Amino acid sequence: MNNWKNFVSEEWNRRIASRPQDPMKFPLIDQTFNAEEIVAVMDVVMSGQLTMAHNVREFEKVFASHVGAPYAVMVNSGSSANLLAFAAAANFQRKNHLNVGDEVLIPAVCWSTSVWPIFQMGLKPIFVDVDPMTLNVDIGDLEKKITSKTKALLAVHILGNSAPMLELMAVAKKNGLIVIEDTCESLGSLADKKYLGTHGAFGTYSFYYSHHMTTGEGGMVVCQTQEDYDLLKCLRAHGWSRELSNKQELEKKYSDVDPRFLFVNMGYNVRPMEIQAALGLCQLKKLNEMNSNRVFNQNALVNAIQSHKKWDHQFEFIKAAPGTDPVWFGFCGLLNQKYANRRQQFLTYLSSAGVENRPIVSGNFVRQPALQGLGLDLKPENFPGAERIHKNGFFIGLHTNKLTDAQLNRLADVFLSFEF
């Protein structure tokens, strides 16, 4: 290793070692990167090539191979990945595209930027209830809400658990629906022995700091066809022709326009940085081990709580959907229904004990005030599964390093020392 790389590694390790450690604190995520990533980032900075280039292309290639998708397009965030997937699905150049006014089925437990691209493309979201024990879409409710205007569905895989993809894909095929998978919280989870994100026409991923792997910010869209791949690359960067498979044909056709600035579609600028891709290349090599540790921690913590002397079914723990193999994003559960009115006190208690916590995503999204401003006036009580999650649900972090027995025992003590 070059001298500067040795110096950077040593300085990083020194700083990590000098950070104060508080065994009473349990944050949402532990340290997921080390000196390898720091050196890779510094190498990019000193190369002078900060904007999208060879690192991005290499990361796209290895990521597509890792999840088993034909094509992958990196963007600057998971939210941009959702935006780009819907923009491609609704683009006028796509042979089978969504049109303004088409309905898109979406689970009532989701993230904001799962919903907003539907509105941004002039489409109409139709919210579907969820199964509170898997957190994911209720197939029965979904089938009831299909109309002649329904043209797509968004599967949002919540906190590492999968939507029931075998049933979902059968419904989509029967009704001719375009399927987009929001896999931002579930990188590495399997359904029917395939990685989530690779079942539908598009799959999106997030590399935010607390997710299964990180590039700080960053995201990816995978797709199944050359047509969609070209669309994603074109829309990602201004609508220009630079990365298209028929680039030379287009340049010849429009020879009166400078080929460096030939715009053939609408577009955005959601390109990633080389730094993000350099981080991603390092993190992807560690993903299987980090995911394995998350699964270990999930199982070990459930066992520690349920074998504790104070265990009296105070919580219900989320179950894997049939035919799926989840890599849990967070340790999540529902308070027993008889303690539902104590949820906020319980979460405040966890925080006071140093255990960082969150609601399950954003709870029942139909309660969010922005929807009324966008013309939707929905009754939360019509989504009983989502309401149960909203009122009873919570999660804490699942770290990428295995928890020690001491950590597991302390967490179990904290959970069950609350005066229910």
In whole angstroms, what is the distance from residue 166 CA to residue 139 CA? 11
Whether the CB-CB separation of 165 and 140 falls below 8 Å is answered with no
State the pLDDT at residue 1.
54
Tens-level pLDDT at each residue, the chain (420 residues): 578 999 889 999 999 888 888 877 999 999 899 999 999 999 999 999 999 999 999 999 999 999 999 999 999 999 999 999 999 999 999 999 999 999 999 999 999 999 999 999 999 999 999 999 999 999 999 999 999 999 999 999 999 999 999 999 999 999 999 999 999 999 999 999 999 999 999 999 999 999 999 999 999 999 999 999 999 999 999 999 999 999 999 999 999 999 999 999 999 999 999 999 999 999 999 999 999 999 999 999 999 999 999 999 999 999 998 899 999 999 999 999 999 899 999 999 999 999 999 999 999 999 999 999 999 999 999 999 999 999 999 999 999 999 999 999 999 999 999 998
β-strand 202-206 against 219-223: which pairing, if any? antiparallel
Kind and range of the H or E element at 142?
helix 139-144
* Alpha carbon distance 204, 274 (integer Å): 20
Correct CATH for 38-277 of 3.40.50.2300, 3.40.50.720, 3.40.640.10, 3.40.50.450: 3.40.640.10
3-state secondary structure of 74: strand
Instruction: Say what the alpha-carbon torsion angle 89, 95, 96, 101 is, to the nearest 10 degrees.
Output: 70
Question: In sequence order, which residues have a C-beta less than 8 Å from that of residue 153 and are 6 or more positions away?
Answer: 104, 105, 106, 142, 168, 171, 172, 177, 178, 179, 180
Catalytic residue flag (residue 211)? yes
Architecture of domain 287-417: Alpha-Beta Complex (3.90)
Which strands form 324-325's sheet, in the order they lie side by side? Answer: 194-195, 190-191, 324-325
Is 269 strand, coil or helix? strand
Question: Do the Cβ atoms of 378 and 371 come closer than 8 Å?
Answer: yes
Is 25 exposed, middle or buried, given 0-12, 13-18 or 19+ CB atoms closer than 10 A?
exposed
CB 272 within 8 A of CB 53: no
Active-site choice (199, 211, 212, 390): 211
pLDDT, one tens digit per residue, over 132-188 is 999 999 999 999 999 999 999 999 999 999 999 999 999 999 999 999 999 999 999
What global pTM score does this model have?
A: 0.96
Q: What's residue 21's pLDDT?
A: 81
- C-alpha span between 374 and 407 (Å, rounded): 45
Q: Tell me the pLDDT tens digit for each residue of 194-247.
A: 999 999 999 999 999 999 999 999 999 999 999 999 999 999 999 999 999 999
CA 355, chain centre distance (Å): 23
Give the residue extent of every domain in the chain.
38-277, 287-417
CB 108 within 8 A of CB 384: no
pLDDT at 321: 86
Cβ-contact 160, 330 below 8 angstroms = yes
Place of tokens 């944050």: 27
Cα 19 → chain centroid: 30
